[in-house]
Structure 1
Amino acid sequence: MTDISSGTATVPEVEPFAIHVSDDDLLDLRARLDRVRLPEPETVPGATQGIELQQLAALLAAWRQHDWRAREARWNAIPHYRASIDGLGIAFWHVRSPEPTALPLVLTHGWPGSVLEFEDVVGPLSDPVAYGGSARDAFHVVVPALPGFGFSDRPRERGWHPGRTARAWAALMTLLGYQRFGAHGGDWGAYVSTELARLVPERVAGLHLTMPLASPLPEDRIAPDPAEQRLLDRRDLHLMDGYGFGMLMSTRPQTIGYSLLDSPAGMAAWLGEKFTAYADTRPAVGGGVSVSKQVDNIALYWLTGTGASSARWYWEAMRWVPRSAEEENARPVTTPTACSLFPADPWPTARRWAQRRYRDLHTWHELDRGGHFPGLEQPDLLVCEIRDAFRCARDQPGIS
């Protein structure tokens, strides 16, 4: 077990872990998909009542054709491990770069995503030369599954919030032999990465976020300029009309968990709604998260039985996160920080707000395409953003 209080490994327990779901689980899923019951169509056009019947039917049809065994083979081609940290088994990809000067980098996902958010960026980040890039941009890549997600253990006790997870990530990087490293995250991954930089700033060489955690102060709502007013309007609309799922999971995760564990249609609807609502679905820029990638993620949640445990993450996290902009700013981050802002993200942030919390904000890049899931929507663009973000960090000593 790894002792996270000291950040050192008392007994190294990193073991290779192959993904393999039983035939019985796949047969059970097939039977459930064959007897799905769907309601009548929504009574209004569009998605104002939730995921549309036509969209869900298309997701379920694609899931019936999904080849899980082929996905297992593809994902098992990426070196996959488990380690016991603070009493919990953490599953993670760990891909060492062939480049001797590579910078260690931990990538953290959110909900309704998974480690699969980074499947298409692991290769270009770890071996840039093989993908037409420069050896100077190489990373040793570590992609852990959050507690209660994927093939990480489901917590049986309270307390696995972003702060505890950040301490576990620091211990994991120690276990892997990385004293200094970079951190990247969006969604809940932004919370974990931000806390990691705050807790061990001497170890985090740089921080890259696609969802900076900075809220407006009350005075920011007094006579804002037009640009900030648009940001405020979008945030307010999302909280009023788009965040009901978060309120439910942060207050009654066990209740929704029963449905998510028992109904594949329920799981597909619960996750699929956000894969569309939070993505840049304009056909001209790629169309958002493909149905294939949505089904990969939905199947991963279903076959790992993590619908309830991932919902409980919200219950834990929302009792830990700062309750106001003032509380956020009382947890400042001094690590060099770069932010990439994708236009369809539902949590827009002004640079002025972010600078109050991220005290060394050296890059602020507002992009013209992409949404909340850049690794699934625009992986090539995300690779470029991460490479750019960490170039300055590579000049620091002791990064490997």
Structure 2
Amino acid sequence: MTNDIRPFRIDVPQSELDVLRDRLARTRWSRQLPGEGWRRGMPVARLKELAGYWRDGYDWRRHEARLNEFAQFMVEIEGQDIHFLHVRSPEPDALPLILTHGWPNSFVEFAHLVDRLTDPRSHGGHPSQAFHVVIPSLPGFGFSAPPRETGWDTARVARVWAELMRRLGYDRYGAEGGDFGAYVAPELAKAAPEHVAGVYVISGLGFPTEEDVPGMTPEELAQYEGMQQWAGGSTVDHHALLRTAPQTFAYGWHDSPVAALAWMMQKFEDFNTAPQPADELIDRDLILTNVSLYWFTGTFGSSSWPYYDSTGFGWPEGQKAAPTGVYSGPPGLRRLAERHNTVVHWPVDNPGRHHFVAMERPDAVAADIRAFFDKIR
């Protein structure tokens, strides 16, 4: 087996940009259904405005050039082509750190985080807090090849990540993950316990189940009820949808950029707890760069495998092979998280109103990652 690491550069053909703009201009718009706000889904007027900006205001080439400032590569592991960013810090003693993105996201999730981690001198940190950053694209997401068979799970992804870090020559490193990454990062510690220094999870550990309810305090019960209301409210159950018929819906996402945009914005809004819309809370161009990446790579369908290969929904449990830290303890309960994790970092007041907080608050996330790894370096 050879390392077979090849340089990679994003270069979307101009013809693809022209097709996207043409399709956006020829959208067959649906009528607005009765109901206030998002009660029936993304409002037509708001989607028209955002699609118009995507067509005439958003500059893919500018963002493509920004992404190409990061060193990118392709490597074949277990017969799978994996795309990844590998950005080394100017600090020679930096700790390697592998970041795993979520769904429906991509390596774009960390676009504003990279420099803050690799060059802390320029972002309020100490040079001893620097990281060499590795950001792989999950199989079937973005430029990573889609799985050719069923059976992929978090443990298999973690084994691929461990092999990637081995080929890069890293013997000791940290692991971070949010959303789907919150399942993968702990599995990486299980797959390579002698190499993973610590696991940092954005959120999701210590979430109670129905079996935990009888032993919960009144304060914990109130928190649990709030979680249940949010989960069972007006959000679209993408777990059930993608577990049942991802192929059916992929035709629309793959063929219509407006259908794809509406779906992405629905989920970004479902993941939003702020009063303002998601594309005002998070840089609108960053969201559209993520949507554009899915569109140009045709990965709306292939990125659904974490769901159609699952049997149901469950919160990540974590692991005890390495110390654990989180960006946000609540709404999880620390005493429950400690059943499966050695928790050394559990802040309760970090800022953020969106599920993809690294896109919303990159300064705060970078500072908290530094704070966790300061404890275990």
Q: TM-score, normalised by structure 2?
A: 0.93
| Equivalent position to 1:340, from 327, 333, 340 | 327
Distance in 1 (alpha carbons) for counterparts of 2:146 and 2:279: 35
Q: Give a deviation string over 1:129-186, Cα, whole Å, max 9, x none.
A: 1334211100000011111001111122112221111110000000100011000110
Is 1:252 aligned to 2:245, yes or no?
yes
Is 1:82 aligned to 2:74, yes or no?
yes
| Equivalent position to 2:274, from 258, 274, 281 | 281
Shift of 1:43: 1.2
Distance in 2 (alpha carbons) for counterparts of 1:88 and 1:253: 21
Distance in 2 (alpha carbons) for counterparts of 1:148 and 1:287: 28
| Equivalent position to 2:294, from 294, 297, 301 | 301
Shift of 1:378: 0.5
| Equivalent position to 1:379, from 355, 362, 376 | 362
Q: TM-score, normalised by structure 1?
A: 0.88
| Equivalent position to 2:227, from 235, 244, 248 | 235
Q: Give a deviation string over 1:265-306, Cα, whole Å, max 9, x none.
A: 1110111112222134346x9952232222111111101100
Shift of 1:225: 2.6
| Aligned ranges 1:1-400 → 2 under 5 Å | 10-64=1-55, 65-222=57-214, 224-241=216-233, 242-282=235-275, 287-316=280-309, 318-319=310-311, 332-341=319-328, 348-358=331-341, 360-366=342-348, 367-394=350-377
Structure 1 residues 342, 267: closer, same or farther in 2, change over 3 A? farther
Distance in 1 (alpha carbons) for counterparts of 2:356 and 2:226: 18
Distance in 2 (alpha carbons) for counterparts of 1:301 and 1:231: 35
Where do 4+ consecutive residues of structure 1 move more than 4 Å?
Answer: none
Distance in 2 (alpha carbons) for counterparts of 1:78 and 1:324: 34
5+ residue gaps, structure 2, are none
Query: Are the equivalent residues in 1 in contact too, given 2:198–2:324 (CA < 8 A)?
Result: yes
Q: Give a deviation string over 1:230-250, Cα, whole Å, max 9, x none.
A: 332233234433242221012
| SS of residue matched to 2:337 | helix
Query: Are the equivalent residues in 1 in contact too, given 2:176–2:201 (CA < 8 A)?
Result: yes
Distance in 2 (alpha carbons) for counterparts of 1:116 and 1:91: 13
Query: Are the equivalent residues in 2 in contact too, given 1:93–1:144 (CA < 8 A)?
Result: yes
Query: Are the equivalent residues in 1 in contact too, given 2:279–2:287 (CA < 8 A)?
Result: no
Structure 1 residues 350, 112: closer, same or farther in 2, change over 3 A? same
Query: Are the equivalent residues in 2 in contact too, given 1:231–1:350 (CA < 8 A)?
Result: no
Q: Give a deviation string over 1:32-83, Cα, whole Å, max 9, x none.
A: 1011122122311122322222332222122112211111111101101111
Distance in 1 (alpha carbons) for counterparts of 2:353 and 2:226: 16
Shift of 1:384: 0.6
Give the root-mean-square deviation of aligned CA atoms.
2.2
Shift of 1:334: 3.1
What amino acid does structure 1 have at the position aligned with 2:245? R
Distance in 2 (alpha carbons) for counterparts of 1:174 and 1:301: 29
Structure 1 residues 74, 109: closer, same or farther in 2, change over 3 A? same
Query: Are the equivalent residues in 1 in contact too, given 2:75–2:82 (CA < 8 A)?
Result: yes
Distance in 2 (alpha carbons) for counterparts of 1:230 and 1:50: 28
Query: Are the equivalent residues in 1 in contact too, given 2:187–2:319 (CA < 8 A)?
Result: no
Query: Are the equivalent residues in 2 in contact too, given 1:342–1:372 (CA < 8 A)?
Result: no
Q: Give a deviation string over 1:199-232, Cα, whole Å, max 9, x none.
A: 2222110111012344424342126334322332
| SS of residue matched to 1:231 | helix
What amino acid does structure 1 have at the position aligned with 2:264? L
| Count of residue pairs brought into register by the alignment | 374
| SS of residue matched to 1:270 | helix
Distance in 1 (alpha carbons) for counterparts of 2:80 and 2:375: 35
Q: Give a deviation string over 1:98-117, Cα, whole Å, max 9, x none.
A: 11210000001001111111
The aligned counterpart of 1:398 is none
- Bigger mean CA offset, 212-221 vs 76-85: 212-221
Shift of 1:254: 0.9
Distance in 1 (alpha carbons) for counterparts of 2:11 and 2:280: 31
Query: Are the equivalent residues in 2 in contact too, given 1:214–1:354 (CA < 8 A)?
Result: yes
